[in-house]
Structure 1
C-alpha cells in the first residue's frame, strides 16, 4: 500500500514537471472568437456592439497570467495583420468603450514581450 501511494505521488510530480508553468492557456482561436464581433467597430468606428464588448470581457477573464496576456497580445497582433483596415485609434479605445479594463493594449504595434 505504501509503495502504491509513493507511486501516485511520483507520477503526480512527473506530471507537474511536464506541464510548464509559463505556458499560456489562451489560444488565438479563443482571441479571434472573442473579438470577431468587434471587426465592424475596429474598421469603421462608432459604438462597439454588445457581443463585441462581451468578447472583450471574455478576453479579460481568460488572460490572467503574464503568459496568457502575452499570448493574447500576440494573437491580437496576428489578427490585426490579417485585417489591414483596422483603425489604430478604434483598437486603442475599444476596452474603454466597452467599460472593460484589459491588462494589455489592443494594438498591432504593442511589444507583447513587455507585458507582465
Structure 2
C-alpha cells in the first residue's frame, strides 16, 4: 500500500513539473499550431482540414486553459488572420467544428478578443 501511495505522489510531482503555471500563450506557438490550416482557411485545400491542421487546433485548445490564455491566443489568431488577406471567414469559423474540437477561441480577423 505504501508503494502505491508513493507512486501516486511521484506521478503527481511529475505532472506538476510538466505543467508550467503562468506560462503565457505565445503568438509563435499559435502561428505554429495553425500554420498547417492556411490552405484550408484560404479555400485552397479543399473542404476538409488536414489531420495536421486539426492536431494544431487541438494543441491550441490545450495551450489556452485560462481566460487570460484564451484572450492572448485570440489576439494572436486575429493578428495571424489579418496577415492572410484571402482567408475565408466561413472556413475560419467552421474550422474547430470540422476538426471536432470545442475551441473557445474564435478563428477570425473580425472579432473583439476582449469580450
For normalisation by structure 2, the TM-score amounts to: 0.77
1:14 aligned residue: none
1:77 aligned residue: 78
* TM superposition shift of 1:88: 0.3
* TM superposition shift of 1:24: 6.3
1:110 aligned residue: 111
Larger Rg: 1
Aligned pairs for 1:1-116 within 5 A:
25-44=24-43, 45-114=46-115
What stretches of structure 2 of length at least 5 have no aligned partner?
1-20
What stretches of structure 1 of length at least 5 have no aligned partner?
1-20
* TM superposition shift of 1:104: 2.2
Secondary structure of the residue aligned to 2:32 is: helix
Larger helix share, 1 or 2 = 1
Structure 1 distance, partners of 2:39, 2:105, is 21
Structure 2 distance, partners of 1:62, 1:24, is 9
Structure 2 distance, partners of 1:111, 1:48, is 25
For normalisation by structure 1, the TM-score amounts to: 0.76
Count of matched residue pairs:
93
Runs of 4+ residues deviating >4 angstroms? none
Secondary structure of the residue aligned to 1:109 is: coil
